[in-house]
A = this chain, B = another copy of it.
Amino acid sequence: LDYIKNPISGLSFLTICRLLLRFTLYFLLVIIFAMAGEGSYFFEPFTESFGRRLKVEKFYYQGKTKYQFVQCFYNKFLGKVLFLDEKIQSAQIDEYIYHESLVHPALVTHPSPQSILVIGGGDGGALKEILRYPIEHACLVEIDQQVIDVSKEYFPWLLPSIEDERTELIIADGSEFIEEADKKFDIVFIDSSDPTGPSASLHEKDFYKKLKKCLNLEGIVVLQAGSPFYHLESIKKKDAFLKKLFKNVCFYTSPVPTYPGGSWCFVFLSDEVQPLKIKGR
């Protein structure tokens, strides 16, 4: 056979073409495998220089809403996990620690809690804990219908909580809701996401000023305030302005293993109730 010869290697043009084609296919395969591997992992940044990598067993939902990026998937160790804008909100394995820590201190210290407001908390974990008490009315104000819909499907506690006759579900901006609210509440829980994104206004002084007008006498507000390790600056800022608005400002922490840093900060606000002076009723 008389192929054109490569003067250097002595290989025919056709052989070179075949080799190149084989290499190309091989590299394509390597890249496809690498991408398939990457696709089954989820990376959550904690800071610019470090974060967490989770293996995704099954993607339940992923979509951009008007407000944020909603993702829900299954991880072998954590169970079902909900992410908003790439930040963990709820993991099946320890959501109860976060939600119990948010809800119970206020409900056991208020002398007679009847009407409760939750701002945020579309995953339903806080509502589930609140409904354990003999309250009259629980109002959940969540900005993003999609968070409700995804949680309804994958977090089995949300649907019965919403269907409870004491529950009122409102899809609205929490900040606008309290401006126009004609009701007053005994306890308000701010179960927000981080200060970036749709929750930004829920972290500002103005919001808490307005919120005071929605509180009954002996009213309590409890908010999540982030990680004492990663969000110390924002906690200090909150401490400064909250002390100007409320007589009792009590920070407390609770271990939430799946949240960045593993412990989480909450703030208990009240003018009338002093949680540290309450002894077994």
Q: Tell whether, in the assembled complex, residue B53 and residue A43 are in contact, meaning their CB atoms are under 8 Å apart.
A: yes
Indicate if the CB atoms of B31 and A27 lie closer than 8 Å.
yes
Interface residues of A in 224-274 (CB under 8 A from B): 227-229, 253, 255-257, 259, 261-263
A48 / chain B contacts, CB cutoff of 8 Å: 55, 76-77
Q: Which of A77-101 contact B (CB under 8 A)?
A: 77-78, 94
Q: Chain A: residues with CB nearer than 8 A to chain B?
A: 4, 13-14, 16-17, 20-21, 23-24, 27-28, 30-31, 34, 43, 46-55, 57, 75-78, 94, 227-229, 253, 255-257, 259, 261-263
**How many identical chains are in the complex?**
2
Task: Report Cα–Cα, A156/B47, bound state, in Å.
Answer: 25
Residue contact A50 to B55, C-beta cutoff 8 Å: yes
Q: Contact check: which of B20, B24, B53 meets A52 at CB < 8 Å?
A: B53
A49 near B27 (CB under 8 angstroms)?
no
CB distance from A6 to the nearest CB of B (A): 10
Residue of B nearest to A53 (CB): B53
Nearest chain B CB to A75's CB is how many angstroms away?
5
Point out the residues of chain B lying under 8 angstroms from A52, CB to CB: 50-53
Residues in B neighbouring A76, C-beta threshold 8 A: 47-49
Residue numbers in B under 8 Å from A55 (CB-CB) = 48-50
Q: List 15 A-B contacts (CB under 8 A).
A: A4-B4, A4-B13, A23-B24, A24-B27, A47-B76, A48-B55, A48-B77, A50-B53, A50-B55, A228-B255, A253-B255, A256-B262, A257-B261, A257-B262, A262-B262
CA gap between A46 and B24 in the complex, in Å: 37
**Cβ A20 vs Cβ B24 within 8 A:** yes
| A77 proximity list for chain B (CB < 8 A) | 46-50
Nearest 7 pairs of A and B residues by beta carbon: A262-B262, A27-B27, A20-B20, A229-B257, A49-B76, A49-B55, A257-B261
- Kindly list chain B residues whose C-beta atoms are within 8 Å of the C-beta of A75: 49-50
Q: Which residues of B contact A259 (CB under 8 A)?
A: 262
Complex CA–CA separation, A228 to B257 (angstroms): 9
In whole angstroms, how far apart are the Cα atoms of A34 and B262 in the complex?
31
- Bound CA–CA A153/B76 (angstroms): 40
Assess whether A51 is in contact with B50, with CB atoms less than 8 Å apart. no
With A20-B20, A48-B76 given, name 12 new contacts (CB 8 A): A4-B13, A20-B24, A27-B28, A27-B30, A46-B77, A47-B76, A49-B57, A50-B54, A50-B75, A94-B229, A229-B257, A261-B262
